[in-house]
Structure 1
């Protein structure tokens, strides 16, 4: 049986001179606090602070990175704990889900998922063997016993992981009661901040758009039956989020087009969609572009940092969507759009506004050097978001640094983004980034581009100062709707 013993030099350079420097640089930030400004952990998990129910429900079923690879080697989603919407088959038990992972453990070789798993299974849960078909039941029992212990309850882990700030992702109509309760609980010393995610209001041709408009009107107390009214309702909900500690929004769109419609055309499309009349593809796209522009206008006004990640085709496999729902592993890159020209209307209006801040993410690595870094290298408002989703891998993080540093330096980047629903993987993901960045900084030292002192300072900035400043996470920096 192969022992599970993550190597202390994993991901550090092979060259001895670089490795020595990288070890020192990494050592200086290995235990630094975690700022997680973009993630998907439910705040209620921390508010309730109940023991996790099941190892598989904690480590496998909610993590679309894990689901997609196991599905790719032939494991049905219901055998991974995902309940079919149509009741066609029962979801597997937690023990059986763990067996599926253990049996297909080698499917993750060479992937970042394997790195995260090895780190969390060893460091958090104390496992000493790689999962396998032979030890699956024994390991499941070990994990089940471990998560029943007080030290592995959500708040205890929050502290053990040294999380300083954890951002969630929340619908505009969310009441944010768990965030308020955590903020007001003197026994909880961390910060859990909501993030405003308004995508479902952007596309008037979507089947759920009419219901969404009525819902936000009811929750905000603002008549949203006009386009202007919908914008007012969104502004009201943004203020609600700010009162609950939000510092950012998050927007995922097919493309970053931002040309605004004139008011009459926006109202025409809005009224037609609300009346149930078909919205043409051209009108739907134009409306979405207007909503992106208006979101930037709101961000310039209220100071919420605008995160933008275009280029993902959601729910690529319609039969899986119908049977299991969204976020089940089949969102895929769709790289048909660029950034520079589509964002020009938005950036001409707000790119030099002192309050506006835009963090650009991509799943197209070529966009880093071609567009995102040059934009960040000119516009005070633009920041180069870290590699995200399909490219949050050791090799891609290194390539990101090489692609953006020439044009944008370090200070115009976002800090690492873990983007996860899998709570226990957060420290493993941040550790991966810190090791890769240490190696990159060491390469600059040995080629005499920066000093060792510079490398240590930048490494610390990348995990603390830069995410704090980019996402406006300083508590004293926000008062009311100001920044």
Structure 2
């Protein structure tokens, strides 16, 4: 029986152990998609305690606490930080076999050197011990990143952001490289709703372009793409339930945009048509800049209307959707590829039924000009756990080239989430090591070691090619 979270945690044979300890463990981290707070990094914020760093904004933990019968007051409410921590400690023993149990104890060990299991019996001692450490420079926002050997990361940024925090971070001598990511979800709402019209005014103000037509709307977006590029951005992102199904040859965009601009609600077909064209125009801008574009597809968001009213979005009430993905995704990529304007692309699915679909879709649009141009992204959100990551890598192995995979990201709002890279690396090494033990791939440690190093770090380093502005 192996020791819980021992040196060989998740490594079930000697090959896996050698691959992890000799080739993966010490590599730097490139975290190319997360939701970390740029302002906190710019100020090198010092957290008051572990609750602020660990539980604020972490909807994974919030969902588990609600399932454990914890009142909302101790989750997002007005309870003290110590009370909230105690309620999380009360929940942790019930998270056995959920990845939260692994993440929780990996984070306690890697950041704080705490080996005790978190429970009501150990909560007071652990809270006290972590509170003392949180006051040290090593546990500031930047300190936490440096502890985990984070070389570079990409935040998630709205087109109207002035990126002043990114410029401030850049001035820090000791800090990972932090790059913005262009995420235009709000700009692409295009539904005539009051919220979108209000956002459009923000876009006008940020770009200095009065948006009175579809053409001026695209001009404003181009200005923001140019601005982001000047400030080091090399990545875009999009979080839609599916790619809009539209006819690239059909027109009528000026009229549809004018209708939305007047506050009229577009029907689903017209909205998809307008949104699809606008997204395609943006993707051509990305291609011209040499950016990487990401598509996070498949979330069914804000399922609980009462919770949305009381707590707002991104509070733990989203789930997997069962949307049809193949046809619209294929048509969209084909439209961009037809004029050779398809940028390097990463697609992430949230429903595991789409693993093989996404793994085969990327193969349709590799063109032999760029290594690993089209990427099937790592297990995302509900799938960034052991089974989810193994299944994603198995689909990619069967349908494409695992060796060209760009690996893991945190997709997190927490500065304590970076041991997830270790988690992924252990799972990857065990997957490969098990194949060796089974006689399915050769026991060639030069070949396998290079493969592991590429997936964990070097492929991403080459793929994004981040440069200083």
TM-score bracket for the superposition, by shorter chain length: over 0.9
Measured in 2, the distance between the counterparts of 1:322 and 1:448 equals 53
Partner residue in 1 for 2:18 = 24
8 Å CA contact 1:227, 1:267 repeated in 2: yes
CA displacement at 1:38 relative to structure 2: 0.4
TM-score normalised to structure 2 length: 0.92
Q: Does 1:455 align with 2:448?
A: yes
Q: Does 1:40 align with 2:32?
A: no
Partner residue in 1 for 2:330 = 344
Q: After the TM superposition, which of the residue ranges 117-126 and 271-280 deviates more from structure 2?
A: 271-280
8 Å CA contact 2:280, 2:336 repeated in 1: no
Gaps of 5+ in 1: 14-18, 84-90
Partner residue in 2 for 1:438 = 429
The alignment covers a number of residue pairs equal to 456
Q: What do residues 142-170 of structure 1 show as CA deviations (whole Å, max 9, x unaligned)? A: 22111012221122222211000111001
* Pair 1:373–1:351, CA change in 2 (3 A): farther
Measured in 2, the distance between the counterparts of 1:333 and 1:392 equals 13
The counterpart of 1:194, out of the listed 169, 173, 180, is 180
8 Å CA contact 1:121, 1:127 repeated in 2: yes
Measured in 1, the distance between the counterparts of 2:269 and 2:38 equals 38
Measured in 2, the distance between the counterparts of 1:157 and 1:289 equals 40
TM-score normalised to structure 1 length: 0.90
Measured in 1, the distance between the counterparts of 2:180 and 2:245 equals 25
CA displacement at 1:260 relative to structure 2: 4.5
* Pair 1:440–1:354, CA change in 2 (3 A): farther
CA displacement at 1:217 relative to structure 2: 1.0
- Counterparts in 2 of 1:278-357, with a 5 A limit? 278-339=265-326, 341-351=327-337, 353=340, 356-357=343-344
CA displacement at 1:5 relative to structure 2: 6.0
Q: What do residues 78-125 of structure 1 show as CA deviations (whole Å, max 9, x unaligned)? A: 311x25xxxxxxx21100000101111122211111111101112211
CA displacement at 1:176 relative to structure 2: 0.7
8 Å CA contact 2:248, 2:335 repeated in 1: no
**Which secondary structure does the structure 1 equivalent of 2:157 belong to?**
coil
Partner residue in 1 for 2:131 = 144
Partner residue in 1 for 2:379 = 387
Measured in 1, the distance between the counterparts of 2:283 and 2:94 equals 42
Partner residue in 2 for 1:376 = 362
Q: After the TM superposition, which of the residue ranges 43-52 and 344-353 deviates more from structure 2?
A: 344-353
8 Å CA contact 2:93, 2:119 repeated in 1: no
Measured in 2, the distance between the counterparts of 1:125 and 1:467 equals 29
* Pair 1:97–1:382, CA change in 2 (3 A): same
8 Å CA contact 2:29, 2:150 repeated in 1: yes
Partner residue in 1 for 2:61 = 66
8 Å CA contact 1:359, 1:384 repeated in 2: yes
Measured in 1, the distance between the counterparts of 2:107 and 2:130 equals 12
- Counterparts in 2 of 1:177-326, with a 5 A limit? 177-185=164-172, 187-205=173-191, 206-260=193-247, 264-326=251-313
**Which secondary structure does the structure 2 equivalent of 1:201 belong to?**
coil
Q: Does 1:134 align with 2:121?
A: yes
Measured in 2, the distance between the counterparts of 1:48 and 1:57 equals 16
CA displacement at 1:218 relative to structure 2: 1.2
Measured in 1, the distance between the counterparts of 2:138 and 2:44 equals 11
Gaps of 5+ in 2: 367-372
